[in-house]
Amino acid sequence: MNHNLITDSCYTLRKGAREALSGSWKPAILAGAVYICVLFIPSMLAVQFFGKDLGTGIGNLYMLIVQGPFMLGYALFSLKLFRKQPAAPSDVFSGFDHFAKAFLLQLIMTIFIVLWTLLLVIPGIIAAYRYRLAYYVLLDNPNIGVMAAIAESKRLMSGNKGKFFILDLSFIGWGILAVLTFGLGFFVLVPYLAMTQVVFYERVNGNIVARTETITYGNKPEIKEEA
């Protein structure tokens, strides 16, 4: 993959996400809602049914097992939607087709982030940004190993971690609005964030090129799938 240093403004990257979502907000919101519900509601219900201590333990175990597959599936949906390929909210569950890799990828990234955080908080945050593109790398290269996907994400994020951090900060206002709408705004914010992350990934790997205040979309490579 290419490795581009991102100099686009946060506005330009977010605009690229909005352009990609134009005409597709309904399936994007539905997929985001499915992703949020299947990932977080079971953990919340566990606390309600089993009490705080046992329920928290069950919820944490559930997250440990399913977080990787659900994140891979949601990344696949977002990537397919951006690349104008057929995408459906059911893609959120597609990560379970590659359960072992998705589970190991999330587990290893979590261990690395925790270990760096034990040293200091800032190294932990930096580590988290190093691995932000690992799921997309794995989707585009399904035959590589988990460590190779992590290494490629680290390479792509070299020199781009600060930009990604600032990009995340630019969504603070949206986050406040989502809270003020009693959480309903997150069903819009989550797909908006996900698509902006896809735009960032596609800019880093050279699949799209940028102009001053907009992003020009070229032909997108199809996502490879294992036989």
Asked, for residue 141, whether it belongs to a domain, the answer is yes
Asked, for residue 149, whether it belongs to a domain, the answer is yes
- The full length of the chain comes to 227
Of residues 45 and 2, more confidence is placed in 45
Considering Cα of 201, then 205, then 211, then 216, what sign does the dihedral take? negative
Asked, for residue 1, whether it belongs to a domain, the answer is no
pLDDT band at residue 210 using 50, 70 and 90 as cut-offs: low
Asked, for residue 225, whether it belongs to a domain, the answer is no
What does the pLDDT read at residue 95? 96
Q: Which of 70-84, 113-127, 137-151, 202-216 has the lowest mean pLDDT?
A: 202-216
First-to-last CA distance in the chain? 22
Asked, for residue 187, whether it belongs to a domain, the answer is yes
Asked, for residue 210, whether it belongs to a domain, the answer is yes
Asked, for residue 192, whether it belongs to a domain, the answer is yes
**Phi/psi zone of residue 3: left (φ > 0), alpha (ψ -120 to 50 degrees), beta?**
beta
Residue 216 has pLDDT above 80, yes or no: no
**Helix ranges, the chain (H):** 10-21, 25-50, 52-82, 99-119, 121-130, 134-140, 146-157, 161-169, 172-180, 186-204
Asked, for residue 5, whether it belongs to a domain, the answer is no
Residue 221 has pLDDT above 80, yes or no: no
Mean pLDDT of all residues in the chain? 90
Query: Once rounded to an integer, what is the mean pLDDT over residues 149-177?
Result: 96
Q: Are 18 and 216 in contact (CB under 8 A)?
A: no
Q: Which domain holds residue 61?
A: 10-217
Residue type, 130: R
> pLDDT digit string (tens) for 35-66?
999 999 999 999 889 988 899 999 999 999 99
- Contact residues for 37 (Cβ-Cβ < 8 A; gap 6+): none
Residue 211 has pLDDT above 60, yes or no: no
Number of domains in the chain: 1
pTM of model > 0.75: yes
